[in-house]
Structure 1
Amino acid sequence: MADSDPIDFIKAFDDPAAAARYADGPRRFVPGLGAVHRMTALLLGEAAPADARVLVLGAGGGLELKALVEAHPGWSFVGVDPAGEMLRAAERLLGPQMARVELVQGYIDDAPDGPFDAATCLLTLHFLPAAERERTVRQIHRRLRPGAPFVAMHGSFPQGRARDRWLDRYAAFAIASGVEQEQALGARAAVAANVAMLDPAEDEAILRAGGFGAVELFYAAFTWRGWVAHA
């Protein structure tokens, strides 16, 4: 593949070897990912009932599903992801906990109509250009009960002249977390060339344009941001 060729991220995630390695990777690139999962469970629990049905968009790998299943034993889940290998990785990770989880291969339009009592979309929306990101957020909103909580977390950092500095920090954190330098710099190059990163203010505006109110920032760490909002 030439340096200028765009990366097909769905194909990359659908690689069996990549899916098998996935559980370890995000923790080395995302500061405090385990804490993000715990905070997500707490934030959803503020407004979702004890028997909530929860939509998890970008569920491949199963990391947040596992955290939510363990935190809320009365909840059931629908996890949606376009990469079949990642969904199989989620099945392996969840094991017997799959009894409370339905997995759907596809995108937001393939998700059931709901209504759901809560939703999450972690480490996913940054793969979508701005217009498709807003459409996806709007489709999540359409599937939620009034007042239902939604947690989104993904890459989001200052753009313009500051962009390269933040990309350098993204790679530096990964290297400091044990990622080989060549791999971290390759990930930096892939993000710079292929991922539709936005400024945090633009990301928050997309949540509001998608129909959500009471949008609150709950997580900010280097090149990552997380928000909780309500339908």
Structure 2
Amino acid sequence: MLHFGFENALDLARTSLGPLASRVQLHNGYVEAAPMGPFDAASCLLTLHFTTEADRLRTLREIHSRLKPGGVFVAMHYSIPHNPEERELWLSRCAEFAISSGVDRNQARTSAELIGQQLPILSPKEDEALMREAGFNEISTFYIGLAFRGWVARASTQAD
């Protein structure tokens, strides 16, 4: 395990912000711990693939409720097709990348298999449909790498 000398992600964020840290309020917890805003932008990175479809929709709605109309939302997480052959292909690519980076072959393959079995990974179409249902529009993919996908979207206005 790597240790960077930070007790948690908030310490890392505070350090990364450097002199700008005084302009930021960091909150530890679930989305409900965040102030109501309204905010110009929000991000949700590498977390939604741990949530069920219902919790994901609830989380997306909570994020949307904290954004100004037209506010920007960026999300990135595992998102792969449900077709078993395609799903295995995407997860095997993750394992092969880990192996090429020095991870033990058996460990990498076991990890990819467990990810596929245990995480409630949705397809890109399902993820985008949930974002729309939560009130986001102008949804656009900006990143695809291995089994990860990233989107940028805007919070709908009342007129949308």
TM-score normalised by L of structure 1: 0.60
TM-superposed CA distance for 1:135, in Å, is 0.7
Residue 88 (str. 1) matches residue 20 (str. 2): no
Which protein, 1 or 2, shows the higher relative CO under an 8 Å CA cutoff with sep ≥ 6?
2
Structure 1, unmatched stretches of 5+, are: 1-16, 22-60, 62-83
Residue ranges of structure 2 left out of the alignment (5+ in a row):
156-160
Shift of 1:116: 0.2
Give the direction of change, closer, same or farther, for the CA distance of 1:207–1:97 in structure 2 (3 Å limit).
same
Name whichever structure is richer in strand by fraction. 2
Partner residue, 2:21: 98
Corresponding residue for residue 128 of structure 2: 204
Which residue number in structure 2 is paired with residue 65 of structure 1?
none
The percentage of counterpart residues that share the same residue type is 48
Residues in 2 aligned to 1:94 and 1:193: alpha-carbon distance in whole angstroms: 37
Report the Cα distance in structure 2 between the residues aligned to 1:122 and 1:139, rounded to whole angstroms.
15
Give matches, 1:26-37, under 5 Å.
Answer: none
SS in 2 for 1:126: helix
Offset at 1:97?
4.0
| Change in CA separation of 1:185 and 1:87 when aligned onto 2, cut-off 3 Å | farther
Q: Counterpart of 2:151 in 1: which secondary structure?
A: strand
Distance 1:114 1:178 in 2: 43
CA distance in 2, matches of 1:181, 1:86: 29
Structure 2 residue aligned with 1:176, among 100, 107, 125? Answer: 100
Report the number of matched residues.
154
Cα distance per residue 1:159-188 (max 9 Å; x no partner): 132222221111112222333334423431
TM (normalized to structure 2)? 0.84
CA 1:161 to 1:118, structure 2 compared with 1: closer, same or farther past 3 Å? same
What are the Cα deviations for residues 41-74 of structure 1, in whole angstroms up to 9, with x where unaligned? xxxxxxxxxxxxxxxxxxxx8xxxxxxxxxxxxx
**What are the residue-to-residue correspondences of 1:123-162 with 2, within 5 Å?**
123-162=46-85
Give the Cα–Cα distance (whole angstroms) in 2 for the partners of residues 171 and 195 of structure 1: 16
Give, in angstroms, the shift of residue 92 of structure 1. Answer: 4.2
1:167 equivalent to 2:91? Answer yes
Q: Within 1, Cα distance between the matches of 2:151 and 2:124? A: 10
User: Could you tell me how far apart the structure 1 residues matched to 2:17 and 2:41 are?
Assistant: 20
